Amino acid sequence: MRQAQFSLLFFIFLLSSNLMAQRPRSGGFGGFGNKLSGTTYNEEQLAYMKDHVKAIEQFNDSLSRGLLEFPLKIHIVAKSDGSNGCEIAEVQAAIRELNKSFLKANIRFLPLEDYNYVRDDALYRFPVVDEEKLCRPHDRANVINVYIVNKLQGERNSFSGYTHAPSAKPINRLFITKKALSNGTTLKRQMGHFFGLYPTAGPIAGQRSEELVSGENCQTEGDQVCDTPADPGLDRRSIDDRCDYVGTLKDANRKFYKPMVNNIMSDNPREGCRSKFSRGQLKRMLYTATYIRNYIKFPPPADATKKYLKKLKEKYGQEGELVFDINASKANVQLLQNLYKVQGTFLPETAYFFEITNLRKGFIYVFEGDEERGFNLLYPQAGDQQYFKDEKKKFRVPTNKGEHFQVDPNGTKNYICILFSKKQILPESFLKEMNELDDEQLNLFQRFYAAHQEKIVGNHNIEFQDNKIEFSATSTERYIVPIFLEYNKR
């Protein structure tokens, strides 16, 4: 009898040890004893995204497209006396880092100018059960409401951030602690959840993913993204100081796991290791932004704001027109958000020139380039005018009649950027910042925004014409309006 009891206890010990060794870490624990993420998923949310799996697979993310821009309504929660709230400079720095990652998915975030301050001692150390109490009086409809608090306290654990996954009844909120705002990963991770990403270990806390190392069931198991390897869930014991996976767990086929420990959606508790999204994750977020979260829009200006902007237009307004002549004819273009796609494919050395009309005082620059060469300055050259005092000025680039530029023979796609600016820039340093960005996931168009995002006027402040290259813009905070052309070459 005693031997039977011993055998039973030994079996239970082995079983519990095995379960502990394979316990998932969905949400993970960070260096401060906080869970990395408090985002959870219910059955409706899981079923909702499952219905999109086939469409995501068929979605062509390589098509030319401009940037999708999303408004952030920032809510800073402070003590009742107004102290200990987050500084605006910290928020701006966090959004700058957020954009560096999301521009790779052609997504850009811009804060609405009126930051909201919530002064309440009880909500400063925010218990998540009080979400409606905090948010109902302050939420802005159809924008992404970002609440920055001192602490996020769940039922059992505190955590660095959480949000609400896509669903048939969407909730547009994201929560992050003041401390986590500056770590470079939490805001990106929660925005990843907001745009349809699961943890690489799978969406269900306490349940180990059945994704196989071979990847044969990658569309339905784990994070449902096939270029992120199967992940058993990570903790500090399975990651060494060099960010290498040292775990020894195997999947159902007895294959060793090789998880992507540098992925932003990983539960890797070593913050400095998590730095990138995979191409498949970027595709899934772009799909979600295009077809699921596409109801999120910049709010129209109130009547008072319209009158105010009309007064500001004389000082801050920018207006211009452009004719792009290539192969001896005016180019046909298609507007894609903030990018003009030139119709047709052009041979090397095909001649082209521009006729630019500037309707407001300011500076004008023209850049040209491709992925291999980066951007180069076409205009102004030595002796060319770059500042225009007249209210209306029409000129040709290149300036000498009869001269032309030629299509470069390398590569298959070219970009041209005509830059209208209220302030003078130094083209050499401007281009250097952009061309020297060390990130192979950024294309040339995205690289431009990543390097100069805080100077570039948002799409919601620019009126583009669909059938011709013409714009009107007004912004008091940003001063550069880039007109991008893209054409194919062979």
On whether residue 35 sits in a domain, the answer given is no
**Can you give the pLDDT at residue 19?**
36
342, 197: one domain:
no
**Can you give the pLDDT at residue 8?**
45
**Can you give the pLDDT at residue 17?**
38
Number of domains the chain contains: 2
233, 328: one domain:
no
344, 467: one domain:
yes
Among 292, 327, 346, the domain boundary falls at 292
Using DSSP's 3-state secondary structure scheme, residue 436 falls into: coil
pLDDT tens, residue order, the chain (490 aa)? 445 444 444 444 444 433 333 333 335 443 333 477 999 999 999 999 999 999 999 999 999 889 999 999 999 999 999 999 999 999 999 999 999 999 999 999 999 989 999 999 999 999 999 999 999 999 999 999 999 999 999 988 899 999 999 999 999 999 999 999 999 999 999 999 999 999 999 998 767 789 999 999 999 999 999 999 999 999 889 999 999 999 999 999 999 999 999 999 999 998 889 999 999 999 999 999 999 999 999 998 777 777 777 788 888 899 999 999 999 999 999 999 999 999 999 999 999 999 999 999 999 999 999 999 999 999 999 999 999 987 789 999 999 989 999 999 999 999 999 999 999 999 999 999 999 998 999 999 999 999 999 999 999 999 999 889 999 999 988 999 999 999 999 8
Give the CATH number of the domain where residue 107 resides: 3.40.390.10
On whether residue 25 sits in a domain, the answer given is no
Among 240, 262, 292, the domain boundary falls at 292
**Can you give the pLDDT at residue 14?**
41
CA distances from 21 to 191, 233, 237, 248 (A): 30, 10, 10, 10
On whether residue 27 sits in a domain, the answer given is no
Among 237, 267, 292, the domain boundary falls at 292
Contact 159, 36 (CB under 8 A): yes
313, 260: one domain:
no
Contact 410, 370 (CB under 8 A): yes
What phi, psi does 427 have (nearest 5°)? -55, -40
CA distances from 185 to 180, 188, 227, 388 (A): 8, 5, 20, 43
**Can you give the pLDDT at residue 104?**
98
The CA-to-CA distance between both ends of the chain, in Å, stands at 83
- Which of 420, 436, 418 minimizes the C-alpha distance to 428? 436
254, 361: one domain:
no
* Burial of 347 per CB tally in 10 Å (0-12, 13-18, 19+): exposed
220, 335: one domain:
no
CB contact set of 262 (below 8 Å; sequence gap of 6+): 243, 268, 273, 274, 275, 276
What range does the domain containing 188 cover? 43-292
On whether residue 14 sits in a domain, the answer given is no
347, 323: one domain:
yes
